[in-house]
Amino acid sequence: MEQLKYKIGEFSRLGRVTVRTLRHYGEIGLLKPEIIDRQTGYRYYSARQLQKLLAIVQLKELGFSLAEIRDLYEEDTHFPDIRMMGRKIADCERELERHRRLSSRTILESYDNLGMYLVTVVAPEMARLGCECPEPGYCFTIEPAGEYREKNFEIEYCEKVVSAKKDSDIIRFKELPEVPQAICMKAYGPYERLRGHYMTLFAGIARMGYKISGAPRASYVDGCWNQEDPEKWLTIIQVPVCKD
């Protein structure tokens, strides 16, 4: 089977890293595109490179620098040894203690904002417009941008209603086409973990030989509106797919 190829914007969205980050990884020799078209300059990545990108992101979250990660790959492994892990744990503990002392307030620019936005902005506006939601309820978000963004990213929130009402400054009513085929995954826990869940699912889709055919959706089953414990929040990631 021919290996699927993705342009840099598509690979950015699948890998949940910015295009700028991917370009930097290429410049330092950590993750180079498999193909660069000489005529157009387009960069193409393969589906199997999602696995390496997932490992890079996970190692970064553990506190490894890009230089350290590159050295690991040059040594033909991406698994740190026990001594390296011990040093990183100690570094993380020191950094955590520093933040405990210095942090008093913060501005949230991530999925952590989503629950309160739905509760304090969307829900009251739906009530004002007289929206009725059928049982069982169904809602999801998509990210319209063609690439992943770390901050100030756009989210489109969709929820099933019995009938359309008059559009407002906040809400628009529309009919969405059906999705013939999708691969889905349950994801438990706070929204800050969603990026890791997305990457795991995208890598699995690539291994199964499917092609992503539409914008991924995050369907919210349980959240801050009915579960106080973030560990019990349930999000179902739904990815439209097709076979070549």
Q: Say what the pLDDT of residue 106 is.
A: 25
Q: How many CA atoms lie within 13 A of 189 on its CB side?
A: 7
Measured distance CA(93)–CA(169) in Å, rounded? 46
Q: Say what the pLDDT of residue 236 is.
A: 92
Q: Say what the pLDDT of residue 244 is.
A: 67
Please, what are the domains in the chain? 5-102 (1.10.1660.10), 111-242 (3.20.80.10)
Q: Degrees (nearest 5) of the Cα angle 127, 174, 218?
A: 80
| Residue 97: burial class (beta carbons within 10 Å; 0-12, 13-18, 19+) | exposed
Q: What is the pTM of this model?
A: 0.54
Q: Say what the pLDDT of residue 134 is.
A: 76
DSSP per residue, 32-74: --SEE-TTT--EEEETTHHHHHHHHHHHHHTT--HHHHHHHHH
Q: Say what the pLDDT of residue 187 is.
A: 93
Q: Say what the pLDDT of residue 188 is.
A: 93
Q: Say what the pLDDT of residue 152 is.
A: 64
Backbone angles phi, psi at 221, to 5 degrees: -95, -50
Structure tokens at 201: 């699912």
Q: Say what the pLDDT of residue 107 is.
A: 28
Element (H, E) at 7: strand 5-7
In the chain (244 residues long), the average pLDDT of successive 10-residue segments reads 71 83 89 85 84 83 81 71 70 51 34 70 82 78 68 76 83 83 92 84 88 86 81 91 82
Measured distance CA(117)–CA(195) in Å, rounded? 19
Q: Say what the pLDDT of residue 110 is.
A: 64
